[in-house]
Chains A and B, each alone.
Chain A
């Protein structure tokens, strides 16, 4: 859709509690039918119902208990599990939906949330949305601009101080969709398991990944967080993705490819809060 800057509006984002977290949908295009957002929210709720490992009756839970065979599942369930298996191989097992969480069985949440948001964004784009930010519990998908004259600015949360950020990213329009996903244990302890050594990974406090796909960025962030000190070198080999890590000593490191996204303190003054 053609982006007409003077037609951008700013309204309170739509907030929906689903998938165990809260999703904020911040649309800046004027004149979009509200039904498009309703449709996107209904889609997210449907994904939660069918994919949640926390719901005993979900298709994922039934698959994990072997009550359901993969061949009997809908195409999108097969697609998600196929992608998760490909990511397990690509990450040398660091992303593993069979080792994730404390539930046993399958937990593809590290891929499903990002994928569901990407699909929801397609619903919004089909209705004409070109300028939006969707924040799914700390994982962000952006497109276009928030208002004329400046890009979307994303803060990376300080791992120990909930009301502070440690860095800001500028997401230049024209790149298409941009995803920012962060993994860490400071909000929910124990939900990421190291498939190699067992227990929780403890080398890093957080790992943030930027790239075109939120589902992939989310899975990469989880994998690189599990990899600890090896996470950034591994991310540097992934075309199109960049990483930013904070270690236990509160030192930030990032791949050289992450550098263009970072906003210096002096350059951020144009962005009003």
Chain B
């Protein structure tokens, strides 16, 4: 491998390492994750989107292999310091995230998301309440529940509550 090309790869490796170690500003949201931080659309040079995906601290595999002098598997044109690099898939609480980075003349020109969480942008799950009710309508007589969470009732309203029925049904 020519010296110049090797130098270019090292430079891009540093650039990638810097990029992937970028932290998001909302560092208090690590355990459960901020679902809104991963954008659906390709985000050229948007570090916050990558930061959210790479927040678990995983380093893309191609960076390590290039730094060790191995042939960069994902690089198309290493000799010119340009190419497309694919980061390792990173697991976050909402699914896998993987990004592709395009480098031209040693500069990052594009960052593209290849895999996104299955729940998409929000990480939320929605469905109509009504179908659940049809299948699960529960009365005090058939309650397969131990206790009920709901908006706070007054002591007067307790007597009419499902919780009251459950309390009375025990032993």
Contacts and interface: CB of A to CB of B under 8 A. Distances in A.
Interface string B55-84: 000000000000000000000000000000
Contacts of B18: none
Contacts of B169: 273
Nearest to A24: B167
Range, interface on chain B: 35 or more
Nearest to A270: B144
A153 B155 contact: no
B93 interface: yes
Interface stretch (B1-9, B97-105, B132-140): B132-140
Interface residues of A, number: 74
Interface stretch (B29-37, B38-46, B108-116): B29-37
A77 interface: no
A255 B167 contact: no
Nearest to A10: B171
A141 to B, nearest CB: 10
B128 A250 contact: yes
Contact of A184 (B127, B143, B150, B162): B150
A236 B32 contact: yes
Interface string A203-214: 000101000000
Q: Quick one: which of B143, B147, B151, B167 has the most chain A CB within 10 A? A: B151
B129 A257 contact: no
Nearest to A135: B147
A188 B153 CA distance: 7
A156 interface: yes
Contacts of B137: 164
A142 B146 CA distance: 11
Contacts of A62: none
B93 to A, nearest CB: 7
B110 to A, nearest CB: 28
Contacts of A12: 167-168, 170-171
Contacts of B171: 10-12
B124 A24 contact: no
Interface string A171-209: 000000000111111111001000000000000001010
A152 B148 contact: no
Given A12-B167, A154-B145, A21 B152 contact: yes
Given A157-B151, A158-B129, A163-B138, 19 more contacts: A20-B152, A22-B155, A22-B158, A26-B146, A113-B152, A142-B147, A153-B145, A154-B146, A155-B145, A157-B150, A164-B138, A164-B139, A167-B132, A186-B150, A188-B151, A188-B154, A233-B122, A241-B32, A250-B130
27 contacts: A17-B155, A20-B154, A21-B154, A24-B147, A26-B167, A135-B163, A138-B153, A138-B163, A152-B146, A153-B144, A153-B146, A157-B151, A158-B133, A163-B165, A164-B139, A166-B133, A166-B136, A167-B132, A168-B136, A181-B149, A182-B151, A236-B123, A239-B30, A242-B32, A259-B125, A271-B145, A271-B146
Interface of B: 26, 28-36, 93-94, 119, 122-130, 132-133, 135-155, 157-158, 160-171
